[in-house]
C-alpha cells in the first residue's frame, strides 16, 4: 500500500490549478499499435473488412483483467486484431502522425515509441522493410508535428531468444536512424529474462539503452531479473518493486527509471483501483519514474491523463508532478540540449502558475 504518512511534501498550495497538458514531459512507454486512435481503428477495420469485437467498438475501455491466463489471452487477442488493421505504409504513417499529435496535445516534448517490427513484417514486405517504413513514418511525423520521436525496438519474450538476437542486431544497425533502445515485451510470466541476456548485450554494445518489461504481472523478482540479467537502464512498469524495500533501494541507487503506467495497471487487474497503485511508495523511495500511457487504444487514456490520475488519487502537488516530469526527461534518450530545454520548460510551468 502507498505511504501517505508524514508532513506535506510540497509547500505549494496550488494542487490542481496548473494545466497538466502544458507541463513539458517525456513519454517513454507507448506501444505502437496500442497508440492508435479508436476512430482510426474503426476506419481501417472498415477499409480492410476486419470484424472488430464489441470490446474494440463500444467507446469504453474493455474489461481485461490480465492477471490470469484467460485475461491475458483476451488482451493479446484484442491487440492482435487491432494490429491486423495496419497493412500498408500509409497506415503506419497515419498511426505515428496521430500518436504524435495526441502527445503534443498532452505536453510531450519527447516520445519513444516501442515496436516489434516482426509483428508487421508479413504485411510490409519483410523485417527490414517493416522497420524502415516505421522509421520513415517517425521522421515524417516529427517534421509534421515538431515532436522529437525515437524508437525502442522490442523483442517478444514469447518467442525464441535467437529471434531476439536478430532483432537486437537490426536495432543496432538502425541506431543512426532513430532507434535508441531495446526492449522485451509480452507476458513477463513467460520466458526467463536471462534467456535474453545475449540479445541485450548486443544492444548495449551497440549503444542502445536496455528497457525490458518487468514488475507488473509478475512480482519484484522480475524487476530484479531485469537489473541483474539484462542490466536494464529502465524497466517497463516496475511497480511491483514496491513490495520489496531492498529492491526499491537498489533501483534508487542505480537511478533506474520505472516506466509506470497507472491506468493500465488497473485495467489489467494488477491493482483494484487507481489509489492502490504504489506511486507514492516508489516516489518516496527515490525511484525515478516516467509516467506512460502504455496502450491507450485498450486502456482509454493517454499521457496527460496519467498525471491527472496521480494528482487526483495520490495527492501529488504541482511541484511533485513537475518532479515526475523531470524524471521522465532525465530517464529518456534525449540529447543534452533537448533535456535542458524540457527541464527549463518544466521550471517555467511551475513559476508561471
**Catalytic machinery residues:** 216
Neighbour-count burial of 10, counting CB atoms closer than 10 A to its CB (0-12 exposed, 13-18 middle, 19+ buried): middle
Radius of gyration of the chain (CA): 19
- Three-state secondary structure along 206-252? CCCEEEEEECCCCCHHHHHHHHHHHCCCEEEECHHHHHCHHHHHHHH
The DSSP code for 179 is E
Phi and psi torsions of 31, nearest 5°: -85, 150
Quickly tell me which residue has 474489461 as its cell: 63
Quickly tell me which residue has 548485450 as its cell: 201
Classify 190 in phi/psi space as left (phi over 0), alpha (psi -120 to 50) or beta: beta
- In the numeric block, which cell numbers belong to residue 226? 531485469
Q: CA-CA distance, 218 to 276, in Å (whole number)?
A: 16
Phi and psi torsions of 99, nearest 5°: -60, -40
Beta strands in the chain (DSSP E): 25-31, 108-115, 148-156, 179-185, 209-214, 234-237, 257-259
Q: What residues does 115 pair with on adjacent strands?
A: 153
> Taking the chain, what is the end-to-end CA distance rounded to the nearest angstrom?
32
SS3 271: coil
Neighbour-count burial of 253, counting CB atoms closer than 10 A to its CB (0-12 exposed, 13-18 middle, 19+ buried): exposed
Amino acid at each position: 500500500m502507498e505511504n501517505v504518512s508524514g508532513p506535506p511534501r510540497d509547500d505549494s498550495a496550488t494542487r490542481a490549478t496548473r494545466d497538466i497538458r502544458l507541463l513539458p514531459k517525456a513519454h517513454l512507454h507507448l506501444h505502437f499499435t496500442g497508440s492508435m486512435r479508436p476512430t482510426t481503428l474503426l476506419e481501417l477495420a472498415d477499409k480492410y473488412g476486419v470484424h472488430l469485437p464489441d470490446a474494440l467498438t463500444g467507446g469504453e475501455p474493455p474489461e481485461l483483467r490480465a492477471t490470469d491466463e484467460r485475461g491475458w489471452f483476451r488482451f493479446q487477442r484484442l491487440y492482435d486484431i487491432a494490429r491486423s488493421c495496419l497493412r500498408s505504409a500509409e497506415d503506419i504513417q497515419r498511426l505515428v502522425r496521430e500518436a504524435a499529435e495526441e502527445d503534443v496535445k498532452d505536453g510531450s516534448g519527447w516520445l519513444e515509441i516501442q515496436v516489434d517490427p516482426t509483428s508487421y513484417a508479413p504485411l510490409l514486405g519483410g523485417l527490414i522493410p517493416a522497420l524502415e517504413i516505421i522509421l520513415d513514418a517517425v521522421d515524417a511525423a516529427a517534421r509534421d508535428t515538431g515532436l522529437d520521436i525515437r524508437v525502442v525496438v522490442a523483442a517478444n519474450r514469447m518467442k525464441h531468444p535467437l529471434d531476439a538476437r536478430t532483432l537486437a542486431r537490426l536495432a543496432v544497425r538502425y541506431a543512426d536512424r532513430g532507434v535508441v533502445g531495446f526492449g522485451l515485451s509480452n507476458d513477463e510470466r513467460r520466458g526467463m529474462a536471462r534467456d535474453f541476456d545475449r540479445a541485450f548485450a548486443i544492444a548495449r554494445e551497440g549503444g542502445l539503452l536496455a528497457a525490458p518489461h518487468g514488475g507488473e504481472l509478475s512480482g519484484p523478482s522480475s524487476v530484479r531479473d531485469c537489473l541483474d540479467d539484462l542490466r536494464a537502464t529502465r524497466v517497463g512498469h516496475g511497480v511491483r518493486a514496491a513490495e520489496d524495500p531492498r529492491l526499491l533501494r537498489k533501483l534508487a541507487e542505480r537511478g533506474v527509471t520505472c516506466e509506470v503506467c497507472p491506468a493500465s495497471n488497473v485495467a489489467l487487474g494488477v491493482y483494484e483501483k487507481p489509489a492502490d497503485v504504489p506511486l507514492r511508495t516508489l516516489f518516496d523511495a527515490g525511484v525515478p519514474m516516467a509516467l506512460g500511457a502504455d496502450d491507450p487504444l485498450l486502456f482509454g487514456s493517454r499521457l496527460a491523463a496519467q498525471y491527472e490520475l496521480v494528482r487526483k488519487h495520490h495527492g501529488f502537488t504541482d511541484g511533485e508532478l513537475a518532479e515526475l516530469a523531470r524524471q521522465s526527461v532525465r530517464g529518456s534518450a534525449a540529447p543534452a540540449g533537448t533535456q535542458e530545454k524540457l527541464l527549463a520548460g518544466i521550471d517555467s510551468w511551475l513559476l508561471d502558475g
